[in-house]
Structures are given as C-alpha cells and as structure tokens.
C-alpha cells in the first residue's frame, strides 16, 4: 500500500517534470517568446536608463527683465546664472519682449526685477523679485525654484551680515547675540536626488512582471492556435492533470528567469549606479513569490488572449496603468480607497515598493514583511484563479472547438 503511494507521488513528479521539459522546448523554439523572456528584459532597462540618465535638469534658459538696473539686481542675476539649474540666455527690454521669447520657447522663465528693487534693500525693506515660470514640466519649474531659493538665501545672508555689522558698530543694544537655528537636509534612499534613481528601480521590477506575463500569454495563445488547427487538441501538449501542468510550466519559467532576474536586479543598478543596498539573499527570497504570482497571473489572463498578436496591446496598455497604480509616480497614500485596492491586486505594486525599500533604503526582509506576505497571498489567489480558469473556461472552449 505504502509502495503504491510512493509510486503515485513519483509518477506525479515525473509528469510534472515532463511538462517542464516540454515547456522548455516550446519556449526556445518560439522566437516571439524568447524575445519576450530574454531580449525584452535585457534591452528595456538599458533604453530606460539612457532616457532618464541625465537625472535632473540643468541650465534651464531664463530671460531677465531688469527694470532696476542696479548693481544689486545684476549681482542677483549673475548668481542665478551661476547656479547649475539655470542659465540666463538674455536680457529683455520689457515684459512684452520677454513674453515673446517665452512663446518662441527661447526661455522657460522670466525673472523681473522691479524698479525699486535695490531701493527697498537700502531702505531696510523687503525687495521682491517676480519669477514667471512655464509649467509644462515640473522638473524645469523645480530647477528654477531651487536656483532662485538658493540665491535668495545667499544674498539675504549677505545683507543680514552687513546690517548686523552696522548695528554692532553703532552699538544698538542687545543685538550682539542672536539665537539662531540651522537646518540640514539629508536625502535618503536616492542620495543623488535624481529622477532616474527614483523611477528606474521600480520600472525594472515592472519590466520583469510584464515580460513574464506576456511570454506566458503568448505561449498559451500559441498552444490555442495549434489546437484550433488540430480539432481542439494541442498536439504538443502533454496530457496530464491541471496542477501538474501548471507547476511544470511554472518550474520552467522560474529556471529561465534566473538570468534576467540577476541581470536586472543586480547588474543593471550596478552599471547605471542606481541605489544598491540590501542583501542579495533577502532579494532572492522576496522575488520568489513575485515571480510565482506573476506567472499565475499570466496563466489567469491568458484566457482572454485568443491570438498571439493580441498580447501587444495588452502589454503597452497595462504597463502604463500598473506603473501608475504602483504609486511610484503619484504616491499610494494619496490615492482614493478604490485605486489603492485595485493597485493591491497586482504583484508589481507590492514588488516594486518592496524592492525599492530594500534596494534604495536598505531594508531587510523582515522590514518588508507586509509586501512579502501580500505577494504570497497573491500567489495563492492567482494560483487558484488560474486553476479555475483552466478547469472551467478552457475546457469549455475546448469542447466548443471539438464540436466545430
């Protein structure tokens, strides 16, 4: 009796391995799938890195309208020009001329010194500078704002020092010692404070998920196309139990994905010097449920894909949505409950946030236990969904195919 059981288990495993072996053959004989599984994860990270590599904006062109024409306004403009974010491309006679420059896209901001600019400082009043900024890109606005704030603080400190000196010299009471507070800002996670280092780690994870899901869908669609030509039965499929089929295929994909996984999560950040914290073992442990849930999600979605080509629209359209739902661009805490919930249904959301926590912020596995647990939960849910889809929908279609 016991022996029988052993035999059954052994046969079960043998079946599964046979499916796995067959799947390997199917993958590597299908150029489209090889492209999705291997070339896409190789090329996309490099393309994205090259696009975002500049990290931040430099030398945003700015035009100055100087109605004051004093030493002070020129000094202010000179310091703006010296900032790495801004470049003064010219002086305009009046606002009208400057606005024309802006309409021609020769500049993206206008700095206007009013007539009484230096007089205000001399009188001991606040001097105002008007800065009109184009809002087409927030990154440009940010650059202009940073440059202006730096100059404002530095020039202000000069004025203050001068006034204090005068006050001390004239002996105004009690000004000798003024309590002050200093402040320092420390950027964590992404010490370069660049856009690439913030976006790319998440995008890398998304690329893994998308390529995996699409490869899986494409394989399934290929099998279905073969079945359609062959009276409802795919001749290349090994006929065995559903669970064995699913696990065998999953094993095959997992083995194939070892290489893209290491390349994307370890070497791409190294090549482009993105944040590289966290422990490799933690990372691998974290990625297992991510890959599993992505595979099972692919096996669930595949029911909607009738033709191999239909995966392309699916790929492009879902990539953008998953990116937004992940909270990488617009934070998750600012989303409404509905979108938070929908975002939680996809492995990419949890994997991206968990990976960023580990890779950028140096979190250990126990610190990302929430996303980790959610990934395992999604693995279970999608496994059951995929099984249900196989059992009920695919079988039905197969019968329909047989009748035809």
**Which two three-digit tokens encode residue 128?**
């105002």
Q: Which residue has the tokens 């927030």?
A: 138
Is residue 170 a contact point for other proteins (CB under 8 A)?
Answer: no
For other proteins, the closer CB: 84 or 280: 84
Which residues in the 30-69 window bind other proteins by CB under 8 A?
32, 35, 47-48, 50-54, 56-58, 60
User: Which range binds other proteins by CB under 8 A, 8-16, 17-25, 121-129, 253-261?
Assistant: 121-129
Of 302, 311, 295, 291, nearest in space to 220 by CA:
302
Should residue 270 be labelled a site residue for other proteins when binding is judged by CB under 8 A? no
CB of 293 vs other proteins, minimal distance in Å? 19
Measured distance CA(227)–CA(219) in Å, rounded: 12
Q: Does 26 bind other proteins (CB under 8 A)?
A: no
Give the rounded distance of the alpha carbon of 354 from its chain centre. 12
Of the pair 17, 155, the CB lying nearest other proteins is at 155
Site for other proteins in 80-109 (CB under 8 A): 102-105
What stretch of H or E contains 61?
strand 60-66
- Applying CB under 8 A, which part among 18-26, 126-134, 261-269, 290-298 lies near other proteins? 126-134
Q: Given the structure tokens 């010296």, which residue do they identify?
A: 82
To other proteins, the closest distance from the beta carbon of 59 in angstroms equals 8
- Does 142 interact with other proteins (rule: CB under 8 A)? yes
389 interacts with other proteins by CB under 8 A: no
401 binds other proteins, rule: CB under 8 A? no
Residues 37, 218: contact at Cβ < 8 Å? no
Site membership for other proteins, residue 186 (CB under 8 A) = yes
Say if strands 109-113 and 60-66 run parallel, antiparallel, or are unpaired: parallel
173 binds other proteins (CB under 8 A): yes
The HSE-up count of residue 49 (CA atoms within 13 Å, CB side) is: 18
Instruction: Identify residues 294-323 at the interface with other proteins (CB under 8 A).
Output: 308-310, 312-313, 315-317, 319-321
CB nearer to other proteins: pick between 221 and 261: 221
User: What torsion do the CA atoms of 191, 131, 54, 354 make, to the nearest 10 degrees?
Assistant: 40
Q: Coil, helix or strand for 89?
A: strand
Q: How far apart are CA 265 and CA 260, in angstroms?
A: 8
Report helix angle 311-325 to 195-229, nearest 10: 150
The mark string for 202-241 relative to other proteins (x by CB under 8 A, - otherwise) is: ----------------------------------------
> Distance between CA atoms of 113 and 70, rounded to whole angstroms?
10
Stretch that binds other proteins, among 10-18, 152-160, 262-270, 288-296 (CB under 8 A): 152-160
* 76 binds other proteins, rule: CB under 8 A: yes
The count of other CB atoms within 10 Å of the CB of residue 187 is 10
Task: Write down the residue that tokens 């105004």 correspond to.
Answer: 172
| Smallest distance from other proteins to CB 344, Å | 14
Q: Which residue has the tokens 């404070």?
A: 193
Using rule CB under 8 A, residue 128 touches other proteins: yes
Candidate list 83, 197, 209, 245; residue touching other proteins; CB under 8 A: 197
Nearer to other proteins, 9 or 50 (CB): 50
Q: List the structure tokens of 241.
A: 């139990």
Q: Name which position in 130, 230, 276, 280 contacts other proteins (CB under 8 A).
A: 130
């Amino acid at each position: 009796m016991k022996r029988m059981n052993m035999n059954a288990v052994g046969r079960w495993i043998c079946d599964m391995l046979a499916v796995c072996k067959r799947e390997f053959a199917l993958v590597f004989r299908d150029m489209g799938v090889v492209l999705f599984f291997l070339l896409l994860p190789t090329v996309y990270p490099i393309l994205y890195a090259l696009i975002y590599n500049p990290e931040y904006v430099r030398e945003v062109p700015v035009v100055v309208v100087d109605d004051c024409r004093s030493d002070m306004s020129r000094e202010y403009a000179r310091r703006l020009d010296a900032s790495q974010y801004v470049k003064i491309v010219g002086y305009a006679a009046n606002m009208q001329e400057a606005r024309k420059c802006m309409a021609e896209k020769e500049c993206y901001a206008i700095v206007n010194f009013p007539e009484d600019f230096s007089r205000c400082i001399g009188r001991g009043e606040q001097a105002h500078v008007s800065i009109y900024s184009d809002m087409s890109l927030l990154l440009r606005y940010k650059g202009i704002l940073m440059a202006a704030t730096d100059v404002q603080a530095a020039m202000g400190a000069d004025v203050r020092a001068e006034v204090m000196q005068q006050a001390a010299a004239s002996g105004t009471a009690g000004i000798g010692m003024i309590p002050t507070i200093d402040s320092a800002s420390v950027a964590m996670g992404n010490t370069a404070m660049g856009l690439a280092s913030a976006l790319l780690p998440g995008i890398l994870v998304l690329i893994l998920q998308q390529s995996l899901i699409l490869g899986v869908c494409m394989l399934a669609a290929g099998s279905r196309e073969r079945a359609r030509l062959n009276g409802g039965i795919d001749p290349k499929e090994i006929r065995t139990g559903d669970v064995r089929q699913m696990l065998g295929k999953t094993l095959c994909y997992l083995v194939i994905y070892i290489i893209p996984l290491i390349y994307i999560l370890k070497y791409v950040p190294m090549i482009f010097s993105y944040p590289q914290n966290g422990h490799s073992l933690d990372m691998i442990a974290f990625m297992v449920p991510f890959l599993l849930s992505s595979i099972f999600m692919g096996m669930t979605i595949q029911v909607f894909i009738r033709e191999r080509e239909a995966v392309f629209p699916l790929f492009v359209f879902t990539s953008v949505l998953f990116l937004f739902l992940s909270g990488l661009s617009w934070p998750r805490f600012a989303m409404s409950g509905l979108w938070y919930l929908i975002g939680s249904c996809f492995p990419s959301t949890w994997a991206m946030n968990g990976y960023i926590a580990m890779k950028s912020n140096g979190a250990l596995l126990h610190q990302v236990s929430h996303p980790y647990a959610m990934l395992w939960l999604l693995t279970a849910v999608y496994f059951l969904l995929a099984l249900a889809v196989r059992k009920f929908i695919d079988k039905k279609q197969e019968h329909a195919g047989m009748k035809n």
